[in-house]
Amino acid sequence: MCQSGLETSGHMFWECERVREAWALLKIFPAHTNIQFLSFMDLLWYGVFEAKWDALQLENIVIVTWALWRSRNEARTGGEKKSVSKTVNDALEYLAEYQACVKDPDKKQLVWVLWFEMRMVILLVLLARRFGPL
């Protein structure tokens, strides 16, 4: 994303200044914290067992992580380079649309829900292949 430093999962998701901006927008870590994780699973473990994040916070982390990864790949392949705030806002809107479908039986579209869940599973598989077990 920032093109400074080695492209490792640690840099991509925790050390990069652009990514730190994303986490600051979500307000999930204490201000001026220097928490770092070796893997995505370490982040989830921290959220569930140490920080005691609720389901919405965990969903936000997963969707924003996916959006950052997707944004990075789009920019690397010649696509639009989005700002961090746009990437985060778009991801949270996408999640809100999904949650609205799930909560409202009249709006629930099974194809949409399954499509979203399938993409999340694919994300986790791809991250595991790229960076090792989550």
Is the whole model's pTM more than 0.75, yes or no?
A: no
In a domain? residue 2: no
In a domain? residue 3: no
In a domain? residue 1: no
Based on its alpha-carbon atoms, the radius of gyration of the chain, rounded to whole angstroms, reads: 15
**pLDDT per residue as tens digits for the range 41-76:** 888 888 888 888 888 888 898 899 889 888 888 888
Per-residue pLDDT tens digits of the chain, which is 134 residues long: 566 666 777 777 777 888 888 988 988 877 677 777 877 788 888 888 888 888 888 889 889 988 988 888 888 888 888 999 999 999 999 888 877 777 766 665 655 666 677 677 767 767 776 766 54
Distances (CA, A) of 111 to 12, 57, 107: 32, 25, 12
In a domain? residue 41: yes
Domain that holds residue 68: 9-131
| DSSP assignments along 26-73, one per residue | HT-S-TT-----SSHHHHHHIIIIIS---HHHHHHHHHHHHHHHHHHH
What lies within 8 Å, CB to CB, of 63 at 6+ separation is 91, 92, 94, 95
How many independent structural domains does the chain possess?
1
Residue at token pair 């790949």: 73
